[in-house]
């Protein structure tokens, strides 16, 4: 039995990523997320030596809502994940899924030549990797 060819991360990543500044308040970040219909945002690097960050809905639920903090008074940098693991666009989907499982993450920026070109999640891996075959 041969291993299925699930494809590459570039085949399933969301390429219309939005980057925000870490100093943005969480309420403003949520408004952006609602407008672009996304559950995650890339947090910009402050300079070339800095790393990218990632803000997820789950971060907001755990670190703002559950702790009864006012989202307009919390900055993104206070609740984001940073540094984050990133993946290459040519990584095979099955290895990306294993990486997510091994490090207990659900999203990762897709980085090529030092720049974020997309974002990938378990949802997108399954949607492309398996659900596309169910049509």
Q: What is the pLDDT of residue 86?
A: 96
User: How many domains is the chain built from?
Assistant: 1
Asked, for residue 54, whether it belongs to a domain, the answer is yes
Half-sphere exposure of residue 18: CA atoms within 13 angstroms, side-chain side: 16
Q: What is the pLDDT of residue 112?
A: 96
Q: State the pTM of this model.
A: 0.87
Q: Do the bridges between strand 53-56 and strand 19-20 make them parallel or antiparallel, or are there none, so unpaired?
A: unpaired
Task: Kindly state whether residue 3 falls inside one of the protein's structural domains.
Answer: no
Beta bridge partners of 75: 25
User: What pLDDT is recorded for position 36?
Assistant: 94
pLDDT for 58: 94
Below-70 pLDDT ranges, the chain: 1-3, 130-135
Q: What is the distance between the alpha carbons of residues 2 and 24, in angstroms, rounded to a whole number?
A: 48
Each residue's pLDDT tens digit, 56-90: 999 999 999 999 999 999 999 999 999 999 999 99
CATH number where 55 lies: 3.10.580.10
Q: List the domain range (segments joined by +) for residue 94.
A: 9-134
């Amino acid at each position: 039995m041969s291993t299925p060819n699930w494809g590459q991360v570039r085949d399933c990543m969301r390429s219309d990523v939005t980057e925000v500044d870490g100093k943005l308040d969480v309420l403003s970040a949520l408004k952006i997320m609602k407008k672009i219909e996304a559950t995650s945002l890339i947090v910009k690097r402050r300079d070339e030596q800095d790393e990218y960050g990632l803000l997820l809905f789950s971060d907001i639920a755990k670190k703002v809502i559950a702790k009864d903090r006012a989202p307009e008074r919390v900055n993104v940098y206070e609740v984001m994940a940073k540094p984050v693991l990133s993946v290459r666009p040519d990584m095979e989907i099955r290895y990306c899924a294993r990486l997510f499982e091994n490090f207990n993450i659900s999203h990762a920026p897709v980085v090529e030549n030092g720049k974020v070109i997309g974002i990938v999640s378990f949802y997108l891996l399954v949607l492309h990797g398996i659900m596309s075959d169910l049509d």
